[in-house]
Chain A
Amino acid sequence: MTVCFDEMKGEDGNLRATYEGLDAWLRDLSPDVLDQRCQEAEFLFRRIGITFNVYGEADATERLIPFDVIPRIIAADEWKRLERGLTQRVKAINLYLKDIYGRREILRKGLIPEDLVFQNQVFRPEMNGQKVPHDIYIHIAGIDIVRVAADTFYVLEDNVRTPSGVSYMLENREIMMRLFPDLFSRYRVAPVENYPDELLATLRSVAPDTAAAEPNVVLLSPGIYNSAYFEHSFLADKLGIELVEGRDLMVKGGVVSMRTTEGPKRVDVIYRRVDDDFLDPLSFRPDSTLGVPGLMSAYHAGNVTLANAVGTGIADDKAIYSYMPEIVKFYLGEEPILQNVPTWRCREPDHLAYVLEHLPELVVKEVHGSGGYGMLIGPMADKGKLAAFRTRIEADPKNYIAQPTLALSTCPTWVDRGVAPRHIDLRPFVLTGSDTVRIVPGGLTRVALQRGSLVVNSSQGGGTKDTWVLDV
């Protein structure tokens, strides 16, 4: 493996200033105490019921995401740069979506191939020419960032459909503050606990013009069997809004209402955690029972805001990702602050040739896959797997992109009664309202708990850490 940047010890092995306090604290602490704290943390998580559901596992449908007690620390100046970059990127994505479902200037200019949009299943023709309240498509974005060197952060993926994980950001902090008050006293850590307030302010700011002065905001969940159900109920609770399912809502006269014990009550903003396909059986999959029949007609009539908007997948699709630098330049006239990972598009013959030649060094992804599925990590794959993947790429090059194997930064992590470096990423959450862009300092740090592993997804054995952004 190539040498990785370590968040604590940099590239050269010298302790970085931000981690001095943590280092000293770790030295003071006996492994027994830390071990005990880990068990307490697990007990707390299980007791509160912070679990996620795993699809296809009938028996153990509720699992804990492993939590690592050693925080990941980001310096104030590092964060400021990330924050500017995130704001810029999300602004550009919003303008891009408005354009794609409106005038389509970017296609006319030929900056993105038309077929990449029109032939893409995540493009929603139903949204064409439809206005969304306040022209905002992405109210909540989770942008996955990795660090490969002291000054190099890459955006790995934009999640602008129904990004999840923010409940872990909040609960991780709660649990850390309960378990390690002493460690907190050595640092000035920017709080994240205001996230629910910021989210609510964002959602209220985007209510449609026809809404009452006090807009009714609800969270629409697919229900208790969804993998992120815990998060849905957690957020609804923190925001003080109703957690609804499709069957709780109905559309009449172009207006959405919810069934309450006191009769129907109008709904103005729906923070929806149901995928596009299932939102409205009269517009999308006719067999969906999770959605609300007629929802799209109320949406098109301008009487309800969906957060995020329908059809935002055409912004975070892996096939579109590689065009993000052009998107930022085109809509904002600025150079992107956050870099993309260099990406080869197998649809382009010269890129394809390069990819096939360098397969063992590359990470190859299906353009429509997610969660680390349908992926080849070249350096980890044996000959058979490489050959199989080569055949798949050759059969349908359009379906793949490739990237260099990134040396994701590592962070000290508690494993087997000892501290060892493990690879991490970061998912900050960007909120866009009609008034302003809000970013709570930090985000969710995911960690690949297996030694050497680069896969941080919770569905594939990844864990999480508390993320500290220092105030000074």
Chain B
Amino acid sequence: MLSRTADNLYWVARYVERADYLARILEVTMRLTALPLAYVGSTNEWDSAVATAGCGNGFFSHYSEANEDTVREFLAFSAANTSSIRNCIELARTNARAVRTALTSEMWEVINDSWLTLKKFGKGPTSREEFMRFLRFVQETSLRFDGSAYRTMLRTDAYWFFRLGLNIERADNTARILDTKYHLLLPEDTHIGGPLDYYQWAAILRSVSALTSYHWVYRESLKPWLIADLLILNPKMPRSLASCYDNLVIDCDALAEAYGRQGTSQRKARGIRTRLANSRMTEIFQNGLHEFITEFISNNNELGSAISRQYLM
């Protein structure tokens, strides 16, 4: 297939996944800030949301203060923010439009419908109720889009490039949450059962749609090291780094199989997966959770570049 087509498929998946991620961050933040201060402490959750979204620099060149209005505007609707939800959906559709022949009609209709719906939201809803509906709409878009890809795409190279984009973005997003919130998960920093952290931990799990899963997996009340384990090493959790890399190895191998040739991407993906599979949470905490996450983010970016050089240029 054309390198550009593969590139577009990869980015369609990334943008839709990113929009979904931003919607979850905003939803969780709105939830946290709705709680009485006594439950969440005095940290500015809106600052934290900007950091988790990975757009601190851009944000503070436009606004002096992170509050509900400015963050909602910037993360969801701002044209100035290249990674706002609106821009993600627009870019996803632009990429999809450029490769319509490589998408199934079901996928195109989802992305085109959501683009049309996005227009109806105009410059952004003002009321909280309406804004929440908007966030639900974004998450439903990604569910429908993923689902239609899963159900309708031929398992050819097109599908694997799509999956590569999705899993790279997903791994990056989960890692970013960990990068911003790692201090809440450090064992020595915990006053177990303290209400302040409880809601923060719940928020972390919600932001990866895993609050319920946590209870099913561990059958325990929230413990920070278990949360870290779930998000990093647990292959059963679809948004964990381990699960993303299980999938990335499958996707890379499928391409190598289809083309009868393997290269840097395959080696890199396997290397990162091996690292995750051989790690234990205790060692990670010993050697530094933050260092581990930082290194992961950089490895994940390197895989992205390797895929790009090997296939997309």
Q: Which residues from chain A sit less than 8 Å from chain B, CB to CB?
A: 46-49, 223-224, 229, 233, 236-237, 242-245, 247-248, 258-262
Contacts and interface: CB of A to CB of B under 8 A. Distances in A.
B243 to A, nearest CB: 25
A248 B98 contact: no
B94 A244 contact: no
Contacts of A247: 4
Given A223-B98, A224-B94, A224-B97, A262 B259 contact: yes
Contacts of B259: 261-262
B145 to A, nearest CB: 15
B97 A243 contact: no
Contact of B112 (A49, A223, A237, A242): A49
B176 interface: no
Nearest to B6: A261
18 contacts: A48-B105, A49-B97, A224-B94, A224-B97, A233-B100, A233-B101, A237-B101, A242-B1, A243-B101, A244-B2, A248-B2, A248-B4, A258-B2, A259-B4, A259-B313, A260-B1, A261-B259, A262-B261
Given A224-B97, A261-B3, 9 more contacts: A46-B116, A47-B109, A223-B98, A242-B5, A245-B4, A259-B4, A260-B2, A260-B3, A261-B157
Interface in B89-137: 94, 97-101, 105, 108-109, 112-113, 116
A247 B2 CA distance: 11
Interface in B1-45: 1-6
B306 to A, nearest CB: 14
B225 interface: no
B311 interface: yes
A236 B4 contact: no
A47 B112 contact: yes
A442 to B, nearest CB: 25
* B contact patch SS: helix
B1 A261 contact: yes
Contacts of B94: 224
Task: List 5 A-B pairs, minimum CB-CB distance, nearest first.
Answer: A237-B101, A261-B311, A259-B3, A233-B100, A261-B6
Contacts of B112: 47, 49
Interface of B: 1-6, 94, 97-101, 105, 108-109, 112-113, 116, 157, 161, 255, 259, 261, 311-313
B257 to A, nearest CB: 13
A46 B105 CA distance: 13
A422 B6 CA distance: 46
Secondary structure of the A side of the interface?
mixed
A160 to B, nearest CB: 26
B101 A248 contact: no
Contacts of B312: 261
A46 B312 CA distance: 31
A243 B103 CA distance: 13
A391 B283 CA distance: 87
Contacts of B311: 261
Contact of B2 (A49, A224, A229, A242): A242
Nearest to A239: B101
A248 to B, nearest CB: 5
B109 A237 contact: no
A243 B102 CA distance: 10
Contacts of A47: 109, 112-113
B14 to A, nearest CB: 17
A46 B116 CA distance: 10
A221 to B, nearest CB: 9
A248 B3 contact: yes
A248 B2 CA distance: 7
A242 to B, nearest CB: 6
Contacts of B108: 49
Contacts of A262: 259, 261
Q: Which of B2, B5, B97, B112 has the most chain A CB atoms inside 10 A of its CB?
A: B2
Contacts of A49: 97, 100, 108, 112
B91 to A, nearest CB: 12
Nearest to B113: A47
A228 to B, nearest CB: 13
**Quick one: which of A46, A49, A237, A242 has the most chain B CB within 10 A?**
A49
Nearest to A258: B2
B206 to A, nearest CB: 34
Contacts of A46: 116
Contacts of A245: 4
A236 B99 CA distance: 10
A9 B204 CA distance: 72
B12 to A, nearest CB: 13
Contacts of A236: 101
A224 B97 CA distance: 7
B98 A259 contact: no
Nearest to B112: A49
A48 B6 CA distance: 22
Given A244-B2, A260-B1, A261-B157, A237 B113 contact: no
A170 B42 CA distance: 63
A89 B255 CA distance: 50
A262 B116 CA distance: 35
A245 B4 CA distance: 9
Contacts of B1: 242, 260-261
Nearest to A265: B2
A260 B4 CA distance: 8
A59 B108 CA distance: 22
B155 to A, nearest CB: 15
B279 to A, nearest CB: 32
A48 B101 CA distance: 12
A47 B313 CA distance: 32
Nearest to B111: A49
B103 to A, nearest CB: 10
Contacts of A237: 100-101
A259 B2 CA distance: 6
Nearest to B311: A261
A402 to B, nearest CB: 42
Contacts of B113: 47
A223 B95 CA distance: 11
Interface centre among B3, B94, B112, B311 (most CB of A within 10 A): B3
